[in-house]
Structure 1
C-alpha cells in the first residue's frame, strides 16, 4: 500500500500520538486526565508521568508532532538494532551500519513496527530505553533505572523484576524499583489528582485499553476470548495458561542468561510480558526486532555449522512471514475508532481469520503467541541440552561472537 494512501498510508493517521497530545493538553488546561474523552471517545491509559514526557508534543501542531515522532521511531529502530549487534559482540563498522539500515527497512514491514508508526505509538521508544539500560554489564551504575522508568510509563516492563529475582540480581532489581517509584513521585508532584485516580482506580480497569475479543489483541487472554467468541473469557483458564506461559518464558530467559545470551533472555522476557498481559495489541510485540537481529547474527557467524545457520535463517524468515504486515481489505463501511470509513485496510496475519478458510482460523487468530511459544521452546530445547551451565554470577551481559562483520 502506498505511503500516501489517505488515512491508511504509513504516515497518514497517528491516532495514538494525537491522543497523547490531547491528554497532555487536557492536563495543561486543567482538565481531568482519566475522565476526559479524548478526541470524542478515547481514554488515556498510560501512567500520569507519561504526560510530563509527552507535554512538548502538545505544544506543537499535529503535523509537526507526527513528523518528529515518525522520524524518532525510525532513528530509535536503528539504534535498537545497533545495540543488539553490540550485545552480540559486533563492532560498529560501516558494513554493519549498512546492514542495520537494511534491517530497519525490513522491521518496518513487520506489523508491530508498521502499526507502531501508523498509530504513532510509543513502543519502540520503550524498547530502546529498556535495552540501552539492561544490556549493560552487571554492576553498571544505576542499571535497572531505565527499565523502571519505562515501567512507570507502561506497566508491562515490571516483569523484569521477576526475571532479576530469579537471577538473584538484587542490585538491578533495586534499580528497576527505584526508577518505577521515581516516576510515581514525579507523577504525584505534577499531577496529584490524576495520579491518585490512576493508581487507586483506573489501573485495574483493563477494558479501558480495549475489549478482549478483538483480533488485534494478541495476548493469551485475547486468544482465548477470540476462540471462545466472548468478551468475558474464563478467568481460571486464562490464569492457568498465563502461569504456564510465565513458567516457560522465565525458564527460557534464565537458560539464555546462564549461557551468555543476554539479548535473547531480555527478548524472551519482553515477549512473555506481551503474552500474559490482559491486552496486547499487535504493536506491543516490537520485541520481534531483537529476535530478528539474533537470527541474522547466527546466519552470519562463521563458527556455526551450515545446518545451524540454515535453521537460524529459516527461523528469521518464518518470523518475518508470520509478523509481516499482511493487508486485508474489507470492502464495506466500517466504524474505525472515531469515524466511519467506506472500506478498510487492516494489517496483520490475524485479520485473515475474518476472510480465511474455517480450518485455518484457529491458527490465524494468535500468530504472535505462536512466535513466542516457538522461540521459548527452541531456547529451552537447544540450551537445556548443554551439560555445562555456568553460574549466573559468572556470566556477563555481553557475549562476544565472531563474524565477518565484527
Structure 2
C-alpha cells in the first residue's frame, strides 16, 4: 500500500492525530501551569540566558544562569541563539515551538522520501498527522516541554547524510551538529565503517571549522570549554539522576550510586557501540540508510555520559522506518512482527504520567507538586523496575539485534572482511543506491 496514494490512510492518520491531541491533554491538560505541554521551556530560557551572558561580556561557562544552571553546549552554538535572547520570553517560546514542529515535519518528510515515497499532498497530510502523533513519544514531548535543541540537530544530520553520496559537502552539516553537541561525532565513526572516506573527512573538517570559528569569535569561552568544561561530565547532572537514559545512567540508577564504575561503563558502552554500529553497517549494506542513521543516533545517546529522554528523538525516524516496513513488507508474519514492535516500542516510549502530590525539588526550584512523564519516572519497588528504568536502551538493543538477525545472518560478506560493501539482497526494502 502506497502512503502517497492512499486517501484511507490519510483519514486514518488524521483520526489518530485527533486521538493524540485528546490523549496528550488527558495525560496532562495543556492549561496546567508549568506541566502543560507548552508551559515550561526551561532549557530554551537557559540558552537565552547564555546568549545574554555573552552579549554582556560575562564568562559563559563560569557564570550561573537563571540562578544555578550551567551552559553545556559548545561556544559555536551561541550565534544561533542570540536572536532568541533579543526576543521577549513569550515570543522566543512561541517561535521555538513552531520551529520544533517544523523540524519534526522535516524529519518525517525526509525519512519518507529517503524510503522512496513521493511528496504528494496525501503524504504531506500524513506527515503533518504524524507530527501530532509523535508528541506521544516521551522524547518528543520532552523536547517541546523543555524547549530543547536536539530535534534541530537531528534534522540537520538527516538532511546532510541522506543526500546523495556524491554531494560535495555531505558531512559538513553533521560536523556543524557535532561542533554544537559532541555526540554526533559518532557518525564519523559510522562513515569510516562504511568506507565513505570523503564524507567522514568533510565531517571532521566541518567540526574543526566550528572550533576555529568559536575561538575567533569567543576566544575566552572557547578556551574554557575545550580545556575544562568538556571533560566535566557531572557538570550536566549527577549520573544517578532519574531519567538519565545512558548506559552510565543505567549503571548509576540500577546500582544506586553517583560513582558508577568507569571501567564497567567503558566496557558496556564499547559493547553497545559495537552492537549499534554493527547493525547500522548491515542496514546500510541492505539499502536501509534511514534505519542505519537512526541506529547511530540512538547509539550516540546510549554511550554518552548523560542522555536525557529528549536526546532520544532518534526514535522518530525509527518509527518512520517501522511504518514503511509495516506497509511494504510481504507476508502476514513479517508485518505482524513489525506491528508488534511498533506497539511495544510506543508503549516503552509513551509519556506515562507520574503525579506527585507533595513538594519536591525539580531541576532548579521547589515545586508544590509534580506531573512527571516517562516510563523511567514510574515509582520504584515493583519487580519489573529494572526493565522500566532504561526503556530506550532496551529499544536500541532490541532493534540492533533484530537487524543483525534479519540481515547479518544472511549476509555472507558480513563474515568475510575485506570484501567492501555488499549489494542489497532481494529481501531489502526501500530504494537501492
Asked whether the two chains share a fold, i.e. TM above 0.5, the reply is yes
How many residue pairs match? The answer is: 396
Q: Structure 1's 95 and 322: CA in aligned 2 closer, same or farther, altered over 3 A?
A: same
1:250 CA drift (Å) = 1.2
1:400 CA drift (Å) = 7.5
Is residue 2:52 matched to residue 1:28?
no
Q: What secondary structure, in the 3-state scheme, does the structure 2 residue paired with 1:296 have?
A: helix
1:338 CA drift (Å) = 2.4
The match for 2:346 among 302, 314, 320 is 320
Higher mean C-alpha deviation, range 122-131 or range 161-170: 161-170
1:381 aligned partner: 405
1:388 CA drift (Å) = 6.1
1:268 CA drift (Å) = 0.4
Deviation digits for residues 3-28 of structure 1, max 9, x if unmatched? 12100011100000000000000000
Is residue 2:46 matched to residue 1:19?
yes
1:187 CA drift (Å) = 0.7
Q: What secondary structure, in the 3-state scheme, does the structure 2 residue paired with 1:346 have?
A: strand
The match for 1:350 among 363, 376, 379 is 376
Kept in 1, the 8 Å contact 2:240–2:257? The answer is yes
The match for 1:116 among 133, 143, 162 is 143
Q: What secondary structure, in the 3-state scheme, does the structure 1 residue paired with 2:383 have?
A: helix
The match for 2:245 among 209, 214, 218 is 218
Matches within 5 A, 1:5-404: 5-301=32-328, 304-352=330-378, 355-387=379-411, 391-392=420-421, 401=430
1:133 CA drift (Å) = 0.2
Deviation digits for residues 293-315 of structure 1, max 9, x if unmatched? 111111111x5212111211111
Partners of 1:300 and 1:401 lie apart in 2 by: 11
1:66 CA drift (Å) = 0.5
Q: Structure 1's 19 and 387: CA in aligned 2 closer, same or farther, altered over 3 A?
A: closer
Q: Structure 1's 250 and 332: CA in aligned 2 closer, same or farther, altered over 3 A?
A: same
1:113 CA drift (Å) = 0.6
Kept in 2, the 8 Å contact 1:87–1:400? The answer is no
Partners of 1:16 and 1:55 lie apart in 2 by: 14
1:73 CA drift (Å) = 0.2
Kept in 1, the 8 Å contact 2:287–2:430? The answer is no
1:357 CA drift (Å) = 4.3
Kept in 1, the 8 Å contact 2:286–2:423? The answer is no
2:14 aligned partner: none
Kept in 1, the 8 Å contact 2:273–2:303? The answer is yes
1:137 CA drift (Å) = 1.7
Report 1 or 2 for greater relative contact order, CA contacts < 8 Å, sequence distance ≥ 6.
Answer: 1
1:169 CA drift (Å) = 1.1
Deviation digits for residues 336-355 of structure 1, max 9, x if unmatched? 12221111001100011xx2
1:182 CA drift (Å) = 1.4
Partners of 1:394 and 1:364 lie apart in 2 by: 39
Q: What secondary structure, in the 3-state scheme, does the structure 2 residue paired with 1:38 have?
A: coil
1:392 CA drift (Å) = 2.4
Kept in 2, the 8 Å contact 1:213–1:231? The answer is yes
TM-score of the superposition, structure 2-length normalised?
0.89
Partners of 1:401 and 1:202 lie apart in 2 by: 43
2:3 aligned partner: none
Long gaps (5+) in structure 1: none
